[in-house]
Structure 1
Amino acid sequence: MVLSGLFFAVLWAQPSAPPAAACTEPPADLATWLPDGASSAIGLDVDAFAKTAIGRALLPALRADLQLAEALEIIDDCGLRLERTYALALARDPGDGRAVIVQGRGLGEDETLACLADELRARADGQAPWTRSASTCGDVLEFGDGSRAWIVNPFTLVWARGDTFIAQTDALIAGARAPALPPSLATELARVDRSEQLWLAAALSSEDRRALPEAWSREATSVTLSANFDDGLLARMSFGAADIASLATLRELVIAGLIGLAERLDSYGIEHELRERARVGIVDGFVGAELSLDAGEIDDIRERVGERIIGRGPI
């Protein structure tokens, strides 16, 4: 009895193997699935945006772009619809790192993926678009350029390119890495309302800044945007700078930009209250700005600007 008791006591004292990590389920906030190292990120609630007047006008207009039109034709042929996409999040780093999270009805189903593979193969002289392999948490599609896509569930796909982004995404989906906002964008993401239909957060690299107008490139170090289109347009922006003097300069640049926009609307004969509604100030170490246009003003812009640009009515 004593020996048997000691035997079981020894077994009980042995360290047990850690439990296997559970596969990660898609979060409500897709930004927590973006990889660290991202320097910019964009989120779009496609489902909510598609129900707005601007969304109903813009999404069909995307078919006018020849490259987009071909892609949309492919997804149409496979029973997908752009309007049935739920949500989208994208991220990039200053190098080759790219990540996309997309959720849509039927997107990850076997039948849909087989159809997409057939359509793409037909356009690539019979070359398979990807190689599919099984993993612990869903199948993985490996592309010829080294990028990968993870089939998380029947309505969620995650795509990544670049060694760092791929490794982080693989660990996340396998449950070895906890969902969290990327530390590389922590400051910018803290300034943006990700519950809105569209949001953007970017820490501007030197290359990004070179693409800006000269005055902006000298001062701006980061930018964020959140926008809601339910009743026209409500946009909130923020701009970061390296010091107080640069913040003051940025504030003047933002004010000048809003004045210029108001004057441009005036030149088109559009009645608006942009000047009365716009707000600009320095808050918590960044320049904050808000502008709004109601549904009637947006409709007037579409009609009058469309006539000026293409001479045939609303855009």
Structure 2
Amino acid sequence: MSNIKYSVLDLSPILQGGSPAESLQNTLDLAKHVEKLGYTRFWLAEHHNMPGIASSATSVVIGHVAAGTTSIRVGSGGVMLPNHSSLVIAEQFGTLESLFPGRIDLGLGRAPGTDQLTAMALRRTRRTDAQDFPEQLEELRTYFDPSRAENPLPVRAIPGEGLTIPIWLLGSSGYSAQLAGELGLPFSFASHFSPDNTLPAIDLYHRSFRPSEVLSEPYVMVGVNVIAADTDERAKYLATSMQQSFLGMIRNKRDGLKPPVNNMDELWTPYEKTMLQQQLGSSIIGGRKIVKDKLEEFIAETGANELIVNGQIYDHEERKHSFEIVSEVITEC
């Protein structure tokens, strides 16, 4: 397991009673911390109209993190491309790559990352599907490499043109898995909230894969929730903040990340508990031994080339410690 790469997915959580400014400071502090621990990447996710997430202006936060670190790759996990023009993303990430050469990743998703009303506010249109995602993706890639087009594009992305920025496709179903395979791009699957689709999507990616100028063979990153602590009991307690966050999404009551509680059965109904257990089914919660055993099992089952770890923990120091434990158990194996 020590040969596998491991990375961080950060939603820059806003704590209940906290502020976005505090969350963004914590994000940078976490990035510096995991850089020292040997993590490969630090990715930030685009979400909108969510009081508990501070990374909505994802490219801005990427610049904030990249400026405060020195070697870890920083990127999007992901940018929801249908929310933006391809030109804007090419310019933003071209600027980031120009400022921090060789350290920027561009992970792309096709979901809105929000509700339909917010998607309309972002896109200025009622059309909120992503049927033209392949065309938008090709347009974006052509802004970086104009030679992909038979005829020159009428507009150029400056900065952006001529730069090599790794593009990943992200997904929680088979659509992006198949597209990533057909295009020969690396694929990242959101097992941290869609565990039941994990193995079918990875299998589809492998079966669809065609070698490209980017990759000669498939490369899969898998997202996983890990809440680690010195004892199993402490980890289970800390994990209740994540559980409350998902419970809020089920109830359409999205607010800041809540402190942990002693008994979730006082908060959720049996039906909600079943739903959450299914949605968070791949989550790894426990002390060092459980985390080690479960990570080994997860890697063997998925065949992942890389893990990207999400850890929604209320206390910032406890969160940093959780990522320490993950790093230790991976490198010790």
Shorter-chain-normalised TM-score: which range?
Answer: under 0.3
Structure with bigger gyration radius: 1
| TM-score, scaled to structure 1 | 0.26
Which structure has more helix as a fraction of its residues?
2
| TM-score, scaled to structure 2 | 0.25
Greater relative contact order structure (CA < 8 Å, 6+ sep): 2
